[in-house]
A and B are shown apart, each in its own frame.
Chain A
């Protein structure tokens, strides 16, 4: 910590490895990628351990001027820390998941993943507005390549769609950023987070940022790139897309929209709530009728991300902390579900749900893991998603009972589509001979699923490990936005307790106690 530029190392090391990987043969490139991502995972753990929960807001800060106001400024708070830990945790798993599945242009593939890791860490640790923008947008490129080169049959359409959507949002964000830099005279994110922009301007800036983050989340109705991207992406691409890239939108809301434009966030909260409510119901219903496994999980991701947007804009601690936990939990669980799909896709080369069936017969351990992650996705208490969804909805209820009621229908629909998927894939007789002949998990596949399973249970049983580092930062955020917080619709009145008329009411003592209030 003391002086060692750990964040810069974490950004630059995978970049360097990416360059080297291009010149290696397939086997060496795989091992290099695995080695590098494991080293980064270790560094991520070191970061977590070295992070002072009661220390400064920004830690591991590095700053080197580049030109003008623009500087190479890195630093993290607890929120960024947890997202970095999530990223470096998923990366080695991605490499393992691609070990045999990717056969063409392996060095380039590994290089793309390493590049992506570098950019992801960059996004979460950038403290300079323009630096953030570069990382944020450059992150598109490796993903674009991964889908476009190693993707499925319709990869070109999918990557085009992915690019078009994200680009459209980014342009507006860039314009807004330039205006902000001009206005505030600095590109320093921590400073900007405490700058009060005029309310009029806040609205336009908020909308410009919203355009970008809503696409990244993705929020309804700009979500249609996601199912196609997931379907066409190779397994590891889906894992990192669902696991980390979708979280950048939520991170953007926490880092920019809320603290920089609190008033606009409060004024325009109806947009967020409205779209999120539609998203929960709409995408859940759509998920119900999918016949492609990846599409189904992709749609479920949109529904889950709606919990994040709802939670973030509740303006209370439960909502925001819940949203952050959903981000982490979904990062684990959706990633694992895509791995589960990938494992059987590798065997049968189809994502068609009805080509499988009865896998519990011949792949019992696979069925066990799949069940665990299905239940986690459904929000079963004791597993990761529950904690986040519960808190987010508690927060939502405080903000508005309509939002909570509509969003909570997601727990019914979520159970319906996930259990339907599980039933069609794992239960029943083995309908197809080729599916029935598939072997159970091999060691490599165990190594990809087991760590996520353990993390999912850990987060579900003792979420404190993950929430504690973020607590202080949520507090800082709340302090910043509190004054703008809109009132809830509960409007609780004081009690007028009466002693029951009939004598056998049972609790004269308690009723009397209430009367003193």
Chain B
């Protein structure tokens, strides 16, 4: 099992070679090195996964075979805090290994086609491989500190890749937003780790989980309050998970992250990085299980996110943003599955979602590629006949995400994983579970609606390309008049809705990943559901790597028939609504938005989170910074400090007068100082 070292470090090596070799290595060299490394990693990962899969089925059950840890190097040693770089592999890790390396290697390959006209391809591929390395460090972490290393590493790679086109101001803003919002989550994660160390005296995950039950019910002082120890730790860590997995409140960065190239969206912002939070909760599931408050919070946050993102997804017109909100919503599903105790189902949805969501993103990329970088679905239409392979791939993805299938016969991936989550929420029997169930069914309706809306707007109907500036430019160039002084370009062919533009199917490097992921979207559910969530085989498969609840899985299968059918019914209802509005009578959307203008604007503007945060945090920070600088440092400290010392003689009597005439800043600052002083004195003495 030493191969895990290769799996993890090959991508790093490739990233360094491609990154530093930059110009000398050339595009092809960099692409070969990184893609080659990833395919090797992937090829080495599947045997590990199959090992755990088969180990379960033959029923071997000794702990040595169920997990192994490969030490690499000492890291931080400070008294009890002893952290090593080490690679830990168990079933949970093995699942993540195949997800990460498979999607990553396919995305690498896809990028050969998608990025073929870019000027800095070595940089792109180096970032992709760097990301993969960090993600692998995250999923193989044996300690919370190494997990945090991977956590921040993927954050860095995400930042670099969102801002890959760094000449675009919007991309830079999005990249920065992603990093800073994630840092808010990291704030919680960090405090969580500190609390863990204080309580358990270690940051090693297995040791924490082993010691956790003995701390159940204990209390700890935190910011002047006495709170339940385990609840505190879980909530703090969960704040970190919310940041990385874009849960409600810390989700604002994810839609903006679509500024990055589409393969990045598929890999990082759909299949892998954003699921890190779910992975973390599952990894620490025995800890979360000890705190009912924590799991309830997880359930509510997940359910709220699922609902929020699904509602917003119905109104967006940018194809990537629709899928981004869809991702956000599906992550909500995974979280409330975890919150209701169905960790196996959460991981199963993570697994299937990785395939069909990566497929949808890469399919969208193929559409965008065909439509000359146009991303607005209002300017698509009728693409079915022009890019049929992409169409069928997207169809498979949509069938998977909406959960099409017939019980006992066959279903696409989402049919098994999403329905399991919905049923488990119902079966959990808790109040939060019931709430999550209701929300999940409604969100499933919306999911079906916006997914089919995407398909209908893009592939069906008549072409509406002529309104797109991108297509206008493309058609313009295609007509051969390259002279930029031709001012009549927009005038001549508006009667033809296609402008004579011919969308072309993507090249082979892009189609092969679509094909492979289509297989995943079709078969991942039926192929693996017995292992991931089966009441008979689940426990054998997971082998204690997460808190698998056999009882809940049994319950889940015993839920009333109407519960089982509800997911399918709302799926059909959503399909019907989408068909009605976007195929049958295309005036419905406009009439609807005119009637419910307030609601429409509320959703279109994503519930105004960005505006709210701008008002609450961004502007006040800058305002306060300016006040503290001008009024604090310059206006008070310097004025009464060094400058004052020099001028103290002249100042003398005038000082009192000045104070009375009112220097607001100084007053405010002196007051603030006094308060801070008194507060700290009171707190720390």
Contacts and interface: CB of A to CB of B under 8 A. Distances in A.
Contacts of B184: 412
Interface string B212-238: 111111111111101001000000000
B148 A381 contact: yes
Nearest to A367: B166
Given A224-B641, A317-B78, A285 B625 contact: yes
Contact of A467 (B77, B167, B179, B180): B77
B190 A511 contact: no
A464 B74 contact: yes
Interface string B368-412: 000000000000000000000000000000000000000000000
Interface in B186-243: 186-187, 190-191, 193-195, 197-199, 212-224, 226, 229
Contacts of A322: 78
A164 B213 contact: no
Given A273-B680, A427-B172, A507-B547, A463 B76 contact: yes
Given A165-B642, A270-B681, A411 B190 contact: yes
B221 A490 contact: yes
A423 B81 CA distance: 36
Given A224-B641, A462-B74, A415 B183 contact: yes
B187 A412 contact: yes
B191 A408 contact: yes
Contacts of A349: none
A231 B153 CA distance: 33
B73 A461 contact: yes
B624 A391 contact: no
B167 A429 contact: yes
Interface in B309-351: 341
B214 A286 contact: no
B625 A288 contact: yes
A355 to B, nearest CB: 17
Given A282-B628, A507-B289, A382 B149 contact: yes
Interface residues of B, dominant DSSP: helix
Given A270-B684, A492-B220, A507 B621 contact: no
Contact of B217 (A318, A461, A498): A498
A321 B78 contact: yes
B172 A381 contact: no
B433 to A, nearest CB: 12
B566 interface: no
Interface in A69-115: none
A402 B681 CA distance: 12
Contact of B633 (A286, A505, A514): A286
Contacts of A393: 190, 194
Contact of A491 (B74, B180, B183, B221): B221
Interface in A445-496: 461-464, 467, 486, 488-496
A506 B549 contact: yes
A504 B81 contact: no
Contacts of A464: 74-77
A111 B552 CA distance: 77
Contacts of A402: 223-224, 683-684
A382 B85 CA distance: 11
Contacts of B159: 419
A50 interface: no
B17 interface: no
Interface stretch (A59-67, A141-149, A183-191, A356-364): A356-364
A408 B221 CA distance: 18
A254 interface: no
A459 B273 CA distance: 27
Contacts of A287: 625
Given A289-B626, A381-B148, A411-B186, A490 B198 contact: yes
B22 interface: yes
B677 interface: yes
Given A274-B676, A285-B625, A506-B341, A492 B153 contact: no
Contacts of B622: 288-289
A320 to B, nearest CB: 9
A405 B191 contact: yes
A334 B233 CA distance: 33
Contacts of B68: none
Contact of A495 (B194, B217, B224, B341): B217
B149 A318 contact: no
Interface in B531-560: 547-549, 551-552, 555
Interface in B609-661: 621-622, 624-626, 628-629, 632-634, 637-638, 641-642, 645
A505 B289 contact: yes
Contacts of A51: none
B591 interface: no
Contacts of A503: 551
Contacts of B183: 411-412, 415-416
B598 interface: no
A501 B208 CA distance: 23
19 contacts: A222-B641, A270-B683, A278-B676, A289-B622, A318-B78, A322-B78, A401-B222, A401-B223, A404-B194, A408-B187, A412-B183, A416-B180, A419-B180, A464-B74, A488-B198, A495-B218, A497-B217, A504-B552, A507-B286
Given A221-B673, A394-B193, 15 more contacts: A274-B679, A274-B684, A278-B676, A286-B628, A289-B622, A316-B79, A413-B621, A419-B176, A423-B172, A428-B166, A462-B75, A493-B220, A504-B552, A510-B286, A517-B214
